[in-house]
Structure 1
Amino acid sequence: MPATDLPLLIEAALEAGKIATRYSGTQAQRWDKPDGAGPVTEADLAVNTMLEERLCSARPGYGWLSEESEDSTDRLDRNSTFIIDPIDGTRSFAEGARTWAHSIAVADNGVVTAAVIYLPMRDLLYTAAQGQGATLNGKTITTSDTAELLQSEILAAKPNLDARHWRDAQAPDFEGAYRPSLAYRMALVAQGRFDGMLTLRPSWEWDIAAGDLIIREAGGVCSDRTGQRLIFNNLHPRLNGVIAASASIHQQLSALLDPAGPGIGT
């Protein structure tokens, strides 16, 4: 349950930060995953091993879904599942940057109920439990109150602004920005530092599960690119993009996106 899971996730995230920061990102051993799936480092694997041992020992009845573990359909038979990205932003970590994060969540029957995003190099600990609000370093956070999309600042990589994604064949003229960690982008929206974020390509559940709850508990809205609610612990753990923002900005973004635009598998 959220009330008991969140302290466990916080303890695990803090320990993950201790492990990851023992490595020098630029000197850590690094491999490229097959099929262009991106890099992985020895730090990712060390954090993943600790998290799996600690979390699954504490909740033996929960399923397990992690970027750095071989997937098993056993998780589909569990009401609750851990959804983990040991290091979100591995490229940044390997480059010696500070914007990578640990993303740790629990989903109950497809809905995230407890979540932590932790950036140890920036001393930023974002947390949320269902019905209990969202916090940053223990202080309550809320999404921004910007009312108009054209006055907003949206975290989005340049490919998301391609004309093919938008109803009028042109992206709206909001101010754009970018951060390499998807989990961190979502946390910044929850914090109100940015008005929204979007990624229109297929998105792995482990990148966005924790951010989904933190944004919702901060008063925002999180959906896929078509405006549908995000459901987690799917057989194929990829979702059809993400739109996350305050309620007003989310509505405006959704109205301007072309629902027939490129989606899963394109």
Structure 2
Amino acid sequence: MTLTDASVAHLMPELREVMREAASIALPYFRPGGQTSARVWNKSGGSPVTEADVAVDTFLKIRLSELVPKAAWLSEETADDPARIGRDLVWIVDPIDGTRAFLSGHHDWSIAVALLAGGEPLIGFVHAPALGVAYEAIRGQGAFKDGTAMAVDAKPALRSARITGPKPMLDRLTKGAGPDPDFTRIERIPSLALRLARVAEGSVDVGMVSPNARDWDLAAADLVLREAGGEVCSLGGEPAVYNRAEPVHGELVALPRGLREAVLTAWGG
């Protein structure tokens, strides 16, 4: 199945409605500033999952499969099907990105959905229900926050940048940036998708991502960031690669393209 520009644009109103419905499933379980009302248990690796994650995942698998029946599926809360490897179209889904934030009443969690075509994100949608904010992008057609076009902050230099992420990575970046880089450290954003989206909207300049992030944490926001004038890359400058047999990533950084050389030099130093 080949998706034309026209057919992709036709999908977006339906996808927006699907994301709104997914949010309406998750929100009743969310308690701002308090513990979720949802049942919580630990997966085999020790990370938490709630009944809200499972309910949203089930809903999205049904509805997104109806939208693009030929697309394979990769989600945090669904058993992996190796049949996705090599498929042209793949939905990549995190029903609740930032589950620990969700279950503890922190507003920075999101629902992240990407559609890959030929191994690259074609559609990216990051919805933050507790904040009432939605980010979306179609490849080659720009990035939008609640329907308004957005772009990364066009800072000319790394000095005084607003940075966020794991402290060891921020310490390394700060050390490599030379004397008195005057960074502003922003409290770590629990949802990786929102961390990247905030670079895309220009409220953060550099977002660091520790090893072991998964495709579902990154793919949707990666496209939003690309379309806003930024990128996600490794220490060596390589872009994130999606839909591999093991959908796991190493250290990454999200940044505006204009800061790419300065950040990679400082981070590697």
Give the direction of change, closer, same or farther, for the CA distance of 1:242–1:45 in structure 2 (3 Å limit): same
**Which residues in structure 2 correspond to 1:115-130 (within 5 Å)?**
115-130=124-139
Match of 1:74 in 2: 83
Instruction: Indicate yes or no: 2:234 matched with 1:224.
Output: yes
TM-score, normalized by length of structure 1? 0.90
What CA distance in whole angstroms lies between the structure 2 residues aligned with 1:146 and 1:164? 17
Q: Which residue of 1 aligns with 2:18?
A: 12
For 1:253, which of 227, 240, 263 is the aligned residue?
Answer: 263
Tell whether the 8 Å contact from 1:153 to 1:194 is kept in structure 2 after alignment.
yes
CA distance in 2, matches of 1:160, 1:125: 28
Deviation at 1:9, TM superposition (A): 2.9
Q: Which runs of 5 or more structure 1 residues have no equivalent in the other structure?
A: 260-266
CA shift digits 1:108-156 (9 cap, x unpaired) = 1111010110011111010100111000010000000112212110121
Please report how far the alpha carbon of residue 218 of structure 1 lies from its aligned counterpart in structure 2 after TM superposition.
0.6
Once superposed, which parts of structure 1, at least 4 consecutive aligned residues long, lie more than 4 Å away? 162-173
Is the Cα–Cα contact under 8 Å of residues 111 and 128 in structure 2 kept in the other structure? yes
1:27-56, Cα deviation, whole Å (9 max, x unpaired): 2100111123x1100000000000001111
Counterpart Cα distance in 2 of 1:208 and 1:187? 10
Cα displacement (A) at 1:168: 8.3
TM-score with structure 2 setting the length: 0.89
Residue in structure 2 matching 1:40, options 46, 49, 54: 49
Matches within 5 A, 1:20-169: 20-25=26-31, 26-36=36-46, 38-163=47-172
SS in 2 for 1:40: strand
Equivalent position of 1:204 in the other structure: 214
Q: How far apart are the structure 2 equivalents of 1:251 and 1:8?
A: 39
CA-atom RMSD in angstroms: 2.2
Where does residue 243 of structure 1 map in the other structure?
253
- Gaps (5+ residues) in structure 2? none
Identical-pair percentage: 35
TM-superposed deviation, 1:173: 5.3
State the distance in 2 between where 1:11 and 1:29 align. 26
CA gap of 1:65–1:150, structure 2 versus 1, over 3 A, is same
SS at match of 1:201: coil
Segment of structure 1 superposing worse, 135-144 or 1-10: 1-10
Q: How many aligned positions are there?
A: 258
